[in-house]
Amino acid sequence: MVMGPTHAMSGAAVGLVVADVLPADWGGPTSTAETFTFAAVCAGATLLPDLDSTQSTVARSFGPLSKALARVIDSISLGYYTITKGSKDGKRRGGHRTLTHTALFAAGLGAGVTALVVHFGKPAIIGVLFFAIGLALRGLAGEFAKEKGWLVVSLLAAVFSALTWQWYPTEAGSLGLGVAVALGCATHCLGDAITKEGVPFLAPFVPWAREHWWEFRLPAFLSIRAGGPFEKIVLGPALTIAVFALGVWAIDGAPEAIYDAFVPSPS
């Protein structure tokens, strides 16, 4: 799998881009603070598909609780694969890279988050923000939360989610958070699709040659090795620079200020 920091950075970049074009009627951000919150939720959600593996970054994000949840998701994913696989799909011992790596999971989770926020309001928003921001911090921290660091991540997530509520109104969160979560999950799958393992994004509804769980992947000469030199030396730094640039651009008034700084006004 692509490493946690790469997933989180790609989610932040995609979140910043989409936040700039998403209509307000769809929960699109209307201020700099809301834009950064949308991007943070998207970044955290990019780690969620790997909750089907106890060895993943997300499974270590909240200590024993997330580890236990990962075991449950792994079992559910394996069961779902078993009852939906085609005649050419092989047997599996675990559920990693199955259910949670599909369009169905991304859309379903996004719709579920939207329903929770619409029904429960402020408590649901704070819960979603705590979980997503915690995952974003965990992903960006790399190995920091592997042992006891998850306690610090959890504390920081609680603080940030509480502060974020002050500028993220209910009407903005009702649909926008669901969109950010679905977008993050889909971005994760796109990241895994460029690796040599691929990802079964359309499974199990679009069979191919009697396989329901065939995987999207690039040609071998274009695909990358997860955690390999290209990801560490090129992809990771490039995404970091992109997130920084997009973040600056997202600040209210920044595009105009940048334009004025580099384009001389007519005398």
pLDDT in tens, 80-107: 999 999 999 999 989 999 999 999 999 9
pLDDT at 1 over 50: no
The rounded distance, in Å, linking the Cα atoms of 197 and 217 is 7
Cβ(98)–Cβ(78) under 8 Å? Answer: yes
Distances (CA, A) of 160 to 31, 32, 40, 133, 157: 17, 16, 11, 8, 5
pTM value? 0.90
**Helix, strand, coil share of the chain (percent; to 5):** 70, 0, 30
The tokens of 125 are what?
């928003």
Q: Is the sign of the CA dihedral 65, 69, 70, 75 positive or negative? A: positive
Q: Please report where in the chains the tokens 């029904």 appear, as a residue.
A: 119
Q: Within 10 A of 106 (CB to CB), how many other CB atoms are there?
A: 24
The tokens of 260 are what?
């004025």
pLDDT at 2 over 60: no
Q: Please report where in the chains the tokens 């979980």 appear, as a residue.
A: 131
Provide the percentage of residues in the chain whose pLDDT is more than 90. 44
Q: Which residues neighbour 177 within 8 Å (Cβ) at sequence distance 6 or greater? A: 27, 41, 113, 114, 117, 125, 128, 129, 132
Work out the pLDDT band at 27, boundaries 50, 70, 90: confident
Q: Which residues neighbour 110 within 8 Å (Cβ) at sequence distance 6 or greater? A: 178, 179, 181, 182, 183, 185
The rounded distance, in Å, linking the Cα atoms of 58 and 24 is 30
Q: Which residues neighbour 116 within 8 Å (Cβ) at sequence distance 6 or greater? A: 124, 127, 128
Give the largest CA-CA distance in the chain. Answer: 74
The rounded distance, in Å, linking the Cα atoms of 30 and 172 is 8
Q: What is the pLDDT of residue 187?
A: 96
| Residue 1 identity (one-letter amino acid) | M
* Coil vs helix vs strand at 224: strand
Work out the pLDDT band at 189, boundaries 50, 70, 90: very high
Work out the pLDDT band at 228, boundaries 50, 70, 90: confident
Cβ(77)–Cβ(52) under 8 Å? Answer: yes
The rounded distance, in Å, linking the Cα atoms of 85 and 76 is 14
Q: Please report where in the chains the tokens 């994000």 appear, as a residue.
A: 61
Query: Residue 87: what are its φ and ψ, rounded to 5°?
Result: -65, -25
